[in-house]
Chains A and B, each alone.
Chain A
Amino acid sequence: MDQLLLGLTSITLKQVVMYIIGGALIYLAIVKEYEPTLLLPIGFGAILVNIPFSSAIDQVSGGAVQPGALSLLFNAGIITELFPLLIFLAVGAMIDFTPLLQNPVMLFFGAAAQFGIFFTMCLATLCGFSLKEAASIGIIGAADGPTSIYVATRFAKNLLGPISVAAYSYMSLVPIIQPPVIKALTTHEERCIKMEYRPEGVSKTTKVLFPIIVTFIAGIVAPSSVSLIGFLMFGNLIRECGVLNGLSKTAQNELANLVTILLGITIGSTMTADKFLQPRTLMILGIGLLAFVFDTAGGVIFVKILNLFLKKKINPMIGAAGISAFPMSARVIHKMGQKEDPSNFLLMHAVGANVAGQIGSVIAGGLILALIK
């Protein structure tokens, strides 16, 4: 009987807190539909690993390590960086770069909206984090979950849990975080600026050459980014080549779903009470939120500065779509534009900037990996 009750009597207060956190993540995933594909497995994983003597993670028994399934997955898929890279492959197969190729100036908004990463990195160092930890926290602002996980795996494995939770939670909160920041930085007249949309045809050759050339250039400038950008662009090449439709569909569906299940629950396995319930976790969540705010602000302010020199003004809200949260950010900007003026259609411009944000965040991640040794 004592043996059966051992688990129950071994539950600590910290573990109870983790059950509540895990439950909250599952609630947000199911009821609020905030990034359910990741928050639900992360939440469940958090509960799983905080059950006393959980066989899901490695346990030391009689001096010998009993391997746990989630620990094995962590070592095989996260430590090796395999899971985030496979997610990149799937994302690449899902992205249509056409709106960006039709209007390549949007690329610059994808760069400007990465400002928050660098601002947050500096801020995090002032809060006592090491440079590598600060860089991993800053990447939360890229609104790009796989890049956050990839950089954290290289630089701050101990912070992987809180960084992943922050990255995916805030990505799902884009409709709540972005509008007030945009409104604070723009006037009604600016938000009503209409932009002409002239769709131009993009040849198949351009669509096929684009991922190859981007990988090559990014690889030459920052070799550390080759696997990040390479897997993203490989997925896109499969999509655009026109002869691998079966592989493209598999990457977009089966591969994405399988890896997402494994990635989510494995990330959850890093959320053991002793590692997660620390003041640093709260700091990461707070600083991560600031990263999102400053990314949005960076994009908006960049467009406002550009507008000082342009005859045909750009709607500053488009700058905010330069973050990587695709397609949520583009939808938010379009809705905001419609609210200000129902005859204003910003969707295609916002999608172009949003797709550029995908490239921008990966380049930013690669540069950070290259610049910090």
Chain B
Amino acid sequence: MNDVFLQALKVSGYGLIGIFAVIAIFYFVIKLLLKIFPGD
């Protein structure tokens, strides 16, 4: 395996975990906003 590929795998792993983590935070923020400021 070449080094660049292994680096790409590592970035992909962190990237996928990171994107789901950020999106999960957004999800809970929206839920909270909807609870605090219910629809007009």
- A108, B5: Cα distance in complex, Å: 27
Q: How far is the CB of B18 from chain A (nearest CB, A)?
A: 5
Q: How far is the CB of A113 from chain B (nearest CB, A)?
A: 10
- A203, B38: Cα distance in complex, Å: 6
> In the assembled complex, which residues on chain A have CB atoms less than 8 Å from the CB atom of B14?
367, 371
Smallest CB-CB separation from A364: which chain B residue?
B19
- Knowing A104-B31, A108-B23, A210-B30 are in contact, say whether A368-B15 is a contact too (CB < 8 A): yes
Q: How far is the CB of A360 from chain B (nearest CB, A)?
A: 7
How many residues of chain B get a CB closer than 8 Å to chain A's CBs? 30
- Knowing A206-B34, A368-B15, A372-B11 are in contact, say whether A217-B23 is a contact too (CB < 8 A): no
The answer to whether A130 and B4 have CB atoms under 8 Å apart is yes
> In the assembled complex, which residues on chain B have CB atoms less than 8 Å from the CB atom of A92?
none
Interface size class of A (residues with CB under 8 A): 35 or more
Q: Is the interface of B mostly helix, strand, loop or mixed?
A: helix
The answer to whether B39 and A131 have CB atoms under 8 Å apart is no
Q: Is the interface of A mostly helix, strand, loop or mixed?
A: helix
- A208, B30: Cα distance in complex, Å: 12
Q: Does A79 contact B (CB under 8 A)?
A: no
The answer to whether B30 and A131 have CB atoms under 8 Å apart is no
Mark contacts of A277-320 with chain B using CB atoms, 8 A cut-off: 1 yes-contact digit, 0 otherwise.
Answer: 00000000000000000000000000000000000000000000
The answer to whether B11 and A135 have CB atoms under 8 Å apart is yes
Smallest CB-CB separation from B10: which chain A residue?
A371
Of residues B7, B19, B38, which shows the largest number of chain A Cβ atoms within 10 Å of its Cβ? Answer: B19
Q: Does A218 contact B (CB under 8 A)?
A: yes
> In the assembled complex, which residues on chain B have CB atoms less than 8 Å from the CB atom of A202?
34, 39
- A28, B12: Cα distance in complex, Å: 34
The answer to whether A110 and B40 have CB atoms under 8 Å apart is no
Mark contacts of B1-28 with chain A using CB atoms, 8 A cut-off: 1 yes-contact digit, 0 otherwise.
Answer: 0101101110110111011111111110
> In the assembled complex, which residues on chain A have CB atoms less than 8 Å from the CB atom of B12?
118-119, 121-122
The answer to whether A363 and B23 have CB atoms under 8 Å apart is yes
Binding site for B on A (CB under 8 A): 100-101, 104-105, 107-108, 110-111, 114-115, 117-119, 121-122, 124-126, 130-131, 134-135, 200-206, 209-210, 213-214, 217-218, 221-222, 356, 359-360, 363-364, 367-368, 371-372
Given contacts A105-B27, A111-B20, A206-B33, 11 further A-B contacts (CB under 8 A): A107-B30, A118-B16, A122-B12, A125-B8, A131-B11, A209-B33, A218-B22, A222-B18, A356-B23, A363-B22, A367-B14
Binding site for A on B (CB under 8 A): 2, 4-5, 7-9, 11-12, 14-16, 18-27, 29-31, 33-34, 37-40
